[in-house]
Amino acid sequence: MPYDIEIARAAEKMPISEVGEKLGIPEAALIPYGRDKAKLDARFIRGLAGREDGKLILVTAINPTPAGEGKTTTTVGLGDALQRIGKKTAICIREASLGPNFGMKGGAAGGGRAQVIPMEDMNLHFTGDFHAVTAAHNLLAAMIDNHMYWGNALEIDERRVTWRRVMDMNDRALREIIVGLGGVSNGFPRQTGFDITVASEVMACLCLASDLEDLQARLGRIVVAYRRDRSPITCADIGADGAMVVLLKEAMQPNLVQTLEHTPAFVHGGPFANIAHGCNSVIATQSALKLADYVVTEAGFGADLGAEKFFDIKCRKAGLKPAAAVIVATIRAMKMNGGLAKDQLGSENVAAVEKGCPNLGRHIANTKAFGVPVVVALNHFTSDTEAEIAAVKAYVAKQGCEAVVCRHWADGGAGAVELAEKVVHLADTGAMFAPLYPDDMGLFDKIDTIARRIYHAGDVIADKKIRDQLREWEAAGYRDLPICMAKTPFSFSTDPLLRGAPSGHTLPIREVRLSAGAGFIVVICGEIMTMPGLPRNPAAASIRLNADGEIEGLF
């Protein structure tokens, strides 16, 4: 099998106007960015309003392990397979963050014969959306310091400025900084820091907004600082919301690219999956649903975090009704959940597979509890044995579900036709989607509900300060917001080493944060890193153009 990048480069691209034609998008509604990327014109999107929605298919996964599950690959493969069996299909995934590519992360465009192209662009500047988010975020930051500099009419307490700055770069030196040094003309010294751009609340707002007007309202509601009396100051108080929307005008238009098999792919938005909800944009998903009969999308991390947020934040707020869910699993990941180390995955071990299966079982049951029918995609690796596959299939059948072996990585859409047929069938059964908790449940009770029903935790621990803070926000009008959990993705618990399907553990809440613009309460359980660092030998040191002008070392 050739490298991903070789496959991507060898791919013959369909002109992007023809990709759009598959969904009935007229050429005039596609704004070209380079030869193989386009944005969907906002006016065209507005014109779609009256149409009926296609069926929304969520691809989620078991808890991620170092073995890799292939969630994006499966999203792409399923999309290609649906197209192959004659369905009008679009896929919707997130854009990639630039910074991590210079560390050690691989690309975010799928892999093997299930990729979205142009892969290099997607892992570099793409259509500039993230740069626009960075600029909008940092304009607000500059205006806050500028406001304090020129007399501070809003009486911002400079010790209580919560709005940091962002950069799309892995740069640990910027995590904690002091700004405003150098004397009177540079403002007031204060401690702050930078997060990576995907952690920006502006990104979350962009991804949840229905249009530019809604985006401006959300940006305006962002709480950026507090006064000495602890009353909040918003982005609208600073007067930055209008200019931020101007900076985000193009970024708000979904990007259209294609898979290796020319299935239309909307790649748009990319909020962090811990302190934000980790899904592609609402506007891309909604546009795709108006244009295609089947829309395949994915959520971040495993189903405990990603699918739960997809359902309880994105679907709830955007009025989306998912028709089916695919849970991606691999034999290798089952083995790791069953207790094996990464170097023990090469040989057959049916017992370990069986021991790991309850992790998958829990995700199946959780997802079904949202009223969404489930199929398991067993993403095939060459080391998988018949006996191991049979063990998973038998286990899944016992959960009242079906596991389908998929070979899209090696064979493209042809390798996922059985999965596609199963998905079409499931989506016709009539899902009865409902979020996990009602809007008007108390904030702490919402957290408790997620902890007990999704994580199977025995208890939720939060000190008085946190409970008081939650009550304060309820009183301030934020009671109706959903919860955005930030915990380790590697376990149902907060202990990343506790694999499988643990029960009765304790969920300790470390911190709560208000994302009033995005519209959720972030609940942090454990250490959450919002500005990564580079490794000892960063990938950047080997990234370069070769003699033919091709990019080397990026993936």
**Which residues are part of the catalytic machinery?**
71, 73, 94, 105, 273, 301, 381, 409
Size of the site for a second copy (CB under 8 A): 73
**Hey, which residues between 113 and 132 contact a second copy (CB under 8 A)?**
124-125, 128, 131-132
In terms of CB distance, is 151 or 504 closer to a second copy? 151
Size of the chain, expressed as the number of residues it contains: 555
Segment 18 to 37, residues that bind a second copy, using CB under 8 A: 31-35
| Nearest distance in Å: CB 251, a second copy | 9
* C-alpha span between 80 and 326 (Å, rounded): 15
Helices (H), 47-128: 71-84, 119-122
* 543 part of the interface to a second copy, by CB under 8 A: yes
300 has binding-site annotation:
no
Instruction: Provide the mask over 35-54, with x wherever binding to a second copy is found by CB under 8 A and - wherever it is not.
Output: x------x------------
Pick from 10, 150, 343, 386 the residue near a second copy by CB under 8 A: 150
Tokens of 338: 């069953």
68 is in an annotated binding site: yes
Given 10, 185, 430, 548, the residue binding a second copy (CB under 8 A): 185
Q: How far is the CB of 288 from a second copy (least distance, A)?
A: 22
Q: Which C-beta is closer to a second copy: that of 99 or that of 361?
A: 99
Is position 239 an interface residue for a second copy (rule: CB under 8 A)? yes
Is 397 or 541 the residue whose CB approaches a second copy more closely?
541
Contacting residue, 14, 48, 154, 212, with a second copy by CB under 8 A: 212
Task: Assess 187 for contact with a second copy (CB under 8 A).
Answer: yes
Assess contact for 41 and 30: CB atoms under 8 A: yes
Kindly state whether residue 14 participates in binding a second copy, applying the rule CB under 8 A: no
- Which one of 76, 93, 96, 247 is in contact with a second copy (CB under 8 A)? 247
Q: Where are the alpha helices (DSSP H) in 249-318?
A: 282-291, 308-309, 316-318
CB of 447 to a second copy, least distance (A): 28
Question: Of the listed pieces 235-243, 315-323, 376-384, 445-453, which binds a second copy according to CB under 8 A?
Answer: 235-243
Instruction: Using DSSP bridges, classify how beta strands 483-486 and 506-508 pair: parallel, antiparallel or unpaired.
Output: unpaired
Q: Is 65 annotated as a binding residue?
A: yes
109 marked ligand binding residue: no
Nearest to 304 by CA among 61, 1, 27: 61
* Half-sphere exposure for 248 (CA within 13 Å, toward CB): 32
By C-beta, is 13 or 175 nearer to a second copy? Answer: 175
Q: Which of 77, 94, 97, 102 binds a second copy (CB under 8 A)?
A: 102
Span interacting with a second copy, options 183-191, 405-413, 501-509, 512-520, rule CB under 8 A: 183-191
Contacts of 65 (CB under 8 A, 6+ apart): 332, 333, 336, 337, 490, 499
Q: How far is CA 531 from the centre of its chain?
A: 17
Q: Which of residues 417-456 bind a second copy (CB under 8 A)?
A: none
Comparing CA positions, the residue from 59, 42, 53 lying closest to residue 324 is 59
Residue 395 as a binder of a second copy (CB under 8 A): the answer is no
The reply to whether 245 sits near a second copy by the rule CB under 8 A is yes
Q: Is 21 flagged in the annotation as binding?
A: no
Nearer to a second copy, 245 or 282 (CB): 245
Stretch that binds a second copy, among 161-169, 362-370, 385-393, 428-436 (CB under 8 A): 161-169
- The span from the CA of 514 to the CA of 484, in Å, is 10
Regarding 135 and contact with a second copy (CB under 8 A), the answer is yes
Nearest CA to 292 among 272, 315, 314, 263? 263
131/452 with CB nearer a second copy: 131
Query: What is the Cα–Cα distance from 35 to 258, expressed in whole angstroms?
Result: 12
> Is 72 assigned to a binding site?
yes
* From 246, 389, 414, 528, residue interacting with a second copy (rule: CB under 8 A): 246
User: Of these, 24, 26, 66, 181, which contacts a second copy (CB under 8 A)?
Assistant: 181
* By the rule CB under 8 A, 152 interacts with a second copy: no
| Residue 210 to residues 45, 214, 283, 291, Cα–Cα distance (Å) | 11, 6, 6, 16
> Strand, coil or helix: what is 385?
coil
How near is the Cβ of 178 to a second copy at its closest, in Å?
A: 4
Residue 85 binds a second copy (CB under 8 A): no
Residue 402 and residue 422 in contact, taking contact as beta carbons nearer than 8 Å = yes
The C-alpha atoms of residue 555 and residue 102 are separated, in whole angstroms, by 10
Q: Is 67 known to sit in a ligand binding site?
A: yes
Report the residue number, 241 or 411, with the smaller CB distance to a second copy: 241
- Closest to a second copy by CB, 51 vs 544, is 544
Verify binding: residue 544, a second copy, rule CB under 8 A: yes
Residue with tokens 């401006």: 216
| Nearer CB in complex with a second copy: 73/123 | 123
Strands (E), 436-526: 459-461, 483-486, 506-508, 511-515, 520-524
Give first-to-last CA distance, the chain, whole Å: 16
Residues in region 297-336 near a second copy by CB under 8 A? none
How far apart are CB 108 and a second copy at their closest, in Å? 17
Of 147, 189, 193, 187, nearest to 166 (Cα)?
193
283 is an interface residue for a second copy by CB under 8 A: no
CB pairs under 8 A, 24+ apart, for 494-502? 494/525, 494/526, 499/63, 499/65, 499/336, 499/337, 499/338, 499/339, 499/356, 499/359, 500/337, 500/338, 500/339, 500/355, 500/356, 500/358, 500/359, 501/358, 501/359, 501/361, 501/362, 501/456, 502/456
Say if residue 386 carries a ligand binding annotation.
no
527 binds a second copy per the rule CB under 8 A: no
Annotated binding site for ATP: 65-72
